[in-house]
């Protein structure tokens, strides 16, 4: 006999209960683990990204105090800007640089796919003072001529050493350079696969075809104090006016980070959803546990445990689970963060090594604990209400059907929730309160459905179990009855699955709707035959490669080419604002030659009475067009005045027409090549649209252009209209694929919930199973019954998920279509089918363990189970 009993207090009972049911604990806590893991992982990722950019900008700019450039990095400054900066009071020294994105040409004369062959080159004046923090790790710095210094890790990745000759596909054409040295940023960071290099300014001007402009002028201020820097900044801003930005390197880094805000918020949203599912699982599991332990709890009450004591002991159990989940979740979080980092690098996003802050785990643990306790709140309350008489009666006489009040509450949450989702879609900008409202709305939708769900179980179970009942009448009937016998429990389990599936369907609704609308616009407005653009062209995702000037002329000389239309796309954080209006939204400047462009494009234009020819003529004279999305959002009409502010000039432009496009969400401004050059200093083409002289000549033209490109411009690619469409499709799918992966985590969590429910159901039906076996049912048949029940639950979850997801997608899209008119709802049929199939598979997987247990029950024991 032991000297002392192990249990020291009533509260120790909570520990004991958990220790006794290890598998149950694992299944219950899985949701918390996944949720905490995701939050921790996402927060770590955000911190890592922030650190990456801070470090990158710090070490890139080194001693530089201020950077003068086009507004938020768009366009080029005229060459005269350097002199003006130097002459400004307080400026100790200044040096200008130009930038271009180039591609490395391999030994085979081709450009390899992917970002590994991309090289961001800076043309710097070797004679000017070096403000940077770069260290030369091999060879020497550039001095002049056809030299280049490469970033070390990129050189290594591409097998390049000091002394090698490299060929780059630069804007002006292929250029050969000698590698004289390798450099490294002080922080040791790189651009995540993309390379960086420095070459002499004069050589770069020729190679980039930028004879008289600067992308940036870096400034060092006399003296050390911040006040001095601020004063010089003010002076420079006054000197240059609106289209030029003067910022500290730190501010520039923050700018980029702010653009990532929207992305971060989406990550938090998914992490939150995973945690929500986790809380749901806790709720469900504790409800079932409390029901099962009714006799035990009644017993405790007869022994003198008060109601509050019982409530507290259940909450303590939940807290312990929360702690367990949080600890495990943290480990998972680190793994997830590492995984997300490599995922981001795979989609060409530069990100440094994992940054371990303390905020991430602290926040994750706190939310995990909170979720666990909140999930168990209602079950704990119920446990407290268990009367001592239950020690005798057990759960006899207690199967109450959920009341109609609950259904009303559900509807009351669901409808406003739908409105919240709608507002999220309709919002102009993804500011934090808007997103918070949207998330709250979506959660309300799920909560509302959760409340209504028990009422849906009855009809749904009957309908969805029909195919099963056809195939195996007895088992199917048993399974269906079991699911319907406790609608509350079935509903809670199915709802957890529904959340993840609804998100998948909802998100893919957006994807399919956009895709569909984009395809229809392409069909309507593309009058071209071919498009020439840089490989991996994606406007809006940072600086893009450009097309060498010579190519357009070369193609024009081909007999089969009837039209060669130049296009220049510039992504801007703020579109030119209308006179009297506020700052414009993020968007795209789209420039073309109005004399040529109408021959390759048939997009609808509304010139308020003016003919198509008139509109294009006016564009040629300096007027602009506005995309429908921007126009409707800011109330811009034909005849209004837009203020074009760029690094080279500021001028007014009349709006000649509104363009019916959903390209870039309709947030576009169209202008002539001349206007773009004069105001923003952009002179390089982004795309060439070609039209063949006749239908028959098309194939010939394609072949000829491809030959040309392959030989002299290997960083470019030639696309037919179909290829253009699938290119856009691929990019869209990539982004959505990322989100689907995140939602997958929530779905995984709900899978554990199904297993949990099934195992409880098996315990409850022990007697029934015993009877079945005694009557001659084989173990295999018992297994199938359990599997069938699982299928019914999973299918119910899928049915609800598809319906809610479609509704969610519809609400979001309706909201979005306010800002992006022209997008119409297209249900993601493929995704829905996929979801249904996935549900069947998930249901079967979830049933494996419980079915095995059920089949293994000893008949005699089962029969005498009370």
Partner 1 sequence: MSPVPGDGAPAIEIRGLSKVYGSSETAVRAIDGIDLQIGRGEMVAIMGPSGSGKSTLLHLLGALETPTSGSIALAGRRFEGLDDRELTLLRREGIGFVFQFFNLLPSLTAEENVLLPALIAGRRDDAIAARARELLERVGLGGRASHLPAELSGGEQQRVSIARALLMEPELVLADEPTGNLDSRSEAQVLELLAELNRTEGHTIVMVTHDLDAAAVAGRVVFMRDGRIESDGLARGLLDWLRRLREELPLP
Q: Which residues bind partner 1 (CB under 8 A)?
A: 1-2, 4-10, 12-13, 16-17, 19-20, 295-296, 299-307, 309, 387-389, 391-392, 394, 866
Shortest separation between residue 16's beta carbon and partner 1, angstroms: 5
CA 94 centroid distance within chain: 39
Name residues whose C-beta falls within 8 Å of residue 263's C-beta, 6 or more positions apart in sequence.
none
Closest distance to partner 1 from the beta carbon of 20 (Å): 4
* Beta carbons within 10 angstroms of residue 120's beta carbon: 17
Pick between residue 17 and residue 672 the one whose CB is nearest to partner 1: 17
Nearer to partner 1, 254 or 296 (CB): 296
Nearer to partner 1, 304 or 582 (CB): 304
Q: Which is nearer to partner 1, 394 or 573 (CB)?
A: 394
Tell me the closest approach of the beta carbon of residue 764 to partner 1, in angstroms: 16
Burial 80-91 (b: 16+ CB within 10 A, else e): ebbebbeebebb
What's the min distance (Å) between Cβ of 320 and partner 1?
Answer: 14
Instruction: Report whether 158 contacts 114 (CB < 8 A).
Output: no
Quote the least distance from Cβ 4 to partner 1, whole Å.
7
As a residue count, the chain comes to 866
Contact 362, 329 (CB under 8 A): no
Supply the minimum distance, in Å, between the C-beta of residue 586 and partner 1: 59
Nearer to partner 1, 313 or 625 (CB): 313
Q: How far is the CB of 13 from partner 1 (least distance, A)?
A: 8
Task: List phi, psi (to 5°) of 89.
Answer: -60, 135
CA angle, 345 then 351 then 355, to 5°: 125
- Strand partners of residue 719: 531
CB closer to partner 1 out of 8 and 470 = 8
Q: What are the beta bridge partners of residue 627?
A: 659
Q: Sign (positive/negative) of CA torsion 540, 542, 543, 544? A: negative
How many of the other CB atoms lie within 10 Å of CB of 651?
A: 15
- Measured from the CB atom, the residue of 295 and 484 that comes closer to partner 1 is 295
**Which strand (E) or helix (H) includes residue 484?**
helix 473-485
Choose between 387 and 463: whose C-beta lies nearer to partner 1.
387
Minimum distance between the CB of residue 390 and partner 1, rounded to whole angstroms? 9
The percent of the chain in helix, strand and coil, each rounded to the nearest 5, is 60, 15, 25
CA distance 755 to 134: 56
Nearest residue (CB) to partner 1, 137 versus 302: 302
CB of 157 to partner 1, least distance (A): 58
Which CB sits closer to partner 1, 428 or 858? 858
CB atoms within 10 A of CB 635: 9
**174 in helix, strand or coil?**
strand
> Do 344 and 351 contact (CB within 8 A), yes or no?
yes
> If you search the block for the tokens 């991430």, which residue do you land on?
360
Q: Give CA–CA dist 310/300, Å, rounded.
A: 8
Residue 157 parent element (H or E): helix 152-157
Q: Please, what is the minimum distance in Å from the beta carbon of residue 314 to partner 1?
A: 15
Distance CA 519, CA 459 (A): 39
Query: Closest CB to partner 1 among 116 and 388?
Result: 388
| Angle subtended by helix axes 359-384 and 249-292, to nearest 10 | 20
For 151, the 3-state DSSP assignment is: strand
Smallest separation, CB 11 to partner 1 (Å): 9
Q: How far is the CB of 285 from partner 1 (least distance, A)?
A: 17
Residue 850: CB minimum distance to partner 1, A? 20
Would you put residue 210 in left (φ > 0), alpha (ψ -120 to 50) or beta? beta
Interacting residues of 131 by C-beta distance below 8 A, sequence separation 6+: 61, 62, 63, 64, 93, 95, 218, 220
Q: Considering the complex, what minimum distance in angstroms separates the CB of residue 318 from partner 1? A: 17
Between 504 and 760, CB nearer to partner 1: 760
Provide the terminal-to-terminal Cα distance of the chain, rounded to the nearest Å: 31
Q: Of the two residues 370 and 392, which places its CB atom closer to partner 1 in the complex?
A: 392
CB of 5 to partner 1, least distance (A): 5
For partner 1, the closer CB: 9 or 342 = 9
Q: What is the rounded CA–CA span in Å between residue 793 and residue 795? A: 5
Nearer to partner 1, 302 or 541 (CB): 302
| Alpha-carbon gap, residue 762 to 56, rounded angstroms | 57
Phi, psi angle pair for 315, to nearest 5°:
-65, -35
Calculate the CA 508 to chain-centre distance. Answer: 13
Min CB(297)–partner 1 separation in Å:
10
Q: How many angstroms from the chain centroid is the CA of residue 710?
A: 34
Residue 608 DSSP SS3: coil
Nearer to partner 1, 307 or 814 (CB): 307
- DSSP code of 169? E
**Which residue's CB is nearer to partner 1, number 10 or number 455?**
10
CB of 372 to partner 1, least distance (A): 21
Residue 22 or 470: the one with the smaller Cβ distance to partner 1 is 22
Measure Cα distances from 93 to 107, 138, 557 in Å.
41, 28, 47
Are the C-beta atoms of 179 and 149 separated by less than 8 Å? yes
Calculate Rg over the CA atoms of the chain.
33
Q: Least distance from C-beta 435 to partner 1, angstroms?
A: 45
Beta strands at 587-592 and 668-672: parallel, antiparallel or unpaired: parallel
Chain-centroid distance of CA 517 in Å reads 21
């Amino acid at each position: 006999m032991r000297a002392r009993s192990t249990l020291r207090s009533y509260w120790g009972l909570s520990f004991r209960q958990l220790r006794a049911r290890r598998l149950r604990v694992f299944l219950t806590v899985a949701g918390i683990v996944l949720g905490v893991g995701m939050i921790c992982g996402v927060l770590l990722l955000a911190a890592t990204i922030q650190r990456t950019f801070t470090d990158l900008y710090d070490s890139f700019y080194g001693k530089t105090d201020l950077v003068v450039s086009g507004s938020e990095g768009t366009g080029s400054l005229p060459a005269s800007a350097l002199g003006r900066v130097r002459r400004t009071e307080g400026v100790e020294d200044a040096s200008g640089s130009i930038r271009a994105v180039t591609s490395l040409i391999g030994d085979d004369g081709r450009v390899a796919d992917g970002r590994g062959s991309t090289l961001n080159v800076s043309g710097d004046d070797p004679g000017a003072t070096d403000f940077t923090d770069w260290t030369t790790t091999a060879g020497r710095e550039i001095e002049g001529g056809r030299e280049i210094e490469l970033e070390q890790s990129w050189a290594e990745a591409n097998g390049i050493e000091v002394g090698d000759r490299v060929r780059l596909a630069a804007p002006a054409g292929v250029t050969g350079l000698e590698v004289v040295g390798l450099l490294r940023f002080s922080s040791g960071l790189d651009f995540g696969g993309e390379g960086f290099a420095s070459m002499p300014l004069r050589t770069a001007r020729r190679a980039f075809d930028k004879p008289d402009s600067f992308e940036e002028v870096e400034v060092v201020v006399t003296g050390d104090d911040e006040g001095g820097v601020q004063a010089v900044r003010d002076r420079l801003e006054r000197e240059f006016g609106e289209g030029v930005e003067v910022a500290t390197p730190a501010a520039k880094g923050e700018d980029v980070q702010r653009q990532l805000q929207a992305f971060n918020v989406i990550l938090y949203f998914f992490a939150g959803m995973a945690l929500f599912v986790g809380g749901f699982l806790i709720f469900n599991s504790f409800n079932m546990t409390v029901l099962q332990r009714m006799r035990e709890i009644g017993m405790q009450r007869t022994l003198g445990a008060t109601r509050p004591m019982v409530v507290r002991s259940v909450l303590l159990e939940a807290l312990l689970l929360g702690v367990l989940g949080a600890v495990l979740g943290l480990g998972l979080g680190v793994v997830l963060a590492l995984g997300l980092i490599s995922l981001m690098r795979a989609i060409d996003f530069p990100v440094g090594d994992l940054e371990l802050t303390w905020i991430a785990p602290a926040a994750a643990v706190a939310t995990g604990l909170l979720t666990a306790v909140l999930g168990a709140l209602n079950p704990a309350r119920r446990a407290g209400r268990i009367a001592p008489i239950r020690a005798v009666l057990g759960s006899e006489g207690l199967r109450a059907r959920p009341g109609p009040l609950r259904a009303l509450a559900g509807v009351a949450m669901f409808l406003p929730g739908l409105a919240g989702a709608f507002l999220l879609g309709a919002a102009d900008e993804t500011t934090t309160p808007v997103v918070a409202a949207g998330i709250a709305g979506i959660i309300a939708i799920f909560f509302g459905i959760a409340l209504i769900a028990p009422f849906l179980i009855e009809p749904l179970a009957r309908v969805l179990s029909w195919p099963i009942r056809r195939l195996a009448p007895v088992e199917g009937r048993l399974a269906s009855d079991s699911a319907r016998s406790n609608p509350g429990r079935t509903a809670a389990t199915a709802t957890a699955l529904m959340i993840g599936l609804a998100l998948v369907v909802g998100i893919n609704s957006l994807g399919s709707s956009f895709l569909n609308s984009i395809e229809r616009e392409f069909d309507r407005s593309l009058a071209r035959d071919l498009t020439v653009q840089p490989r991996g062209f994606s406007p809006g995702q940072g600086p893009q490669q450009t097309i060498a000037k010579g190519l357009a002329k070369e193609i024009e000389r081909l007999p089969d080419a009837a039209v060669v239309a130049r296009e220049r796309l510039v992504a801007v954080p703020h579109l030119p604002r209308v006179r009297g209006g506020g700052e414009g939204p993020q968007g795209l400047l789209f420039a073309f030659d109005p004399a040529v462009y109408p021959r390759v494009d048939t997009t609808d234009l509304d010139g308020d009475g003016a003919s198509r020819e008139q509109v294009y003529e006016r564009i040629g004279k300096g007027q602009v067009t506005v995309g429908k999305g921007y126009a409707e959002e800011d109330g811009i009409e034909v005849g209004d005045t837009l203020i074009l502010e760029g690094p080279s000039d500021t001028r007014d432009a009349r709006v000649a027409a509104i363009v019916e496009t959903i390209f870039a969400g309709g947030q576009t401004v169209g202008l002539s090549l001349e206007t773009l050059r004069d105001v923003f200093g952009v002179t390089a083409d982004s795309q060439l649209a070609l039209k063949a002289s006749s239908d028959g000549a098309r194939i010939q033209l394609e072949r000829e252009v491809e030959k040309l490109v392959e030989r002299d411009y290997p960083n470019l690619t030639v696309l037919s209209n179909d290829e253009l469409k699938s290119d856009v499709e691929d990019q869209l799918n990539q982004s959505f694929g990322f989100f689907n992966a995140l939602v997958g985590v929530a779905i995984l969590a709900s899978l554990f919930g199904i297993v949990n429910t099934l195992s409880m159901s098996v315990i409850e039906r022990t007697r029934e199973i015993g009877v079945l076996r005694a009557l001659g049912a084989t173990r295999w048949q018992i297994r199938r019954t359990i599997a069938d029940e699982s299928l019914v639950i999973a299918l119910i979850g899928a049915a609800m998920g598809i319906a809610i997801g479609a509704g969610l997608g519809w609400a979001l899209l309706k909201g979005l279509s306010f800002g992006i008119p022209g997008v119409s709802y297209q249900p993601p049929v493929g995704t829905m089918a996929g979801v249904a199939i996935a549900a069947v598979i998930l249901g079967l997987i979830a049933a494996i363990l419980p079915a095995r247990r059920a089949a293994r029950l000893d008949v005699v024991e089962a029969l005498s189970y009370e």
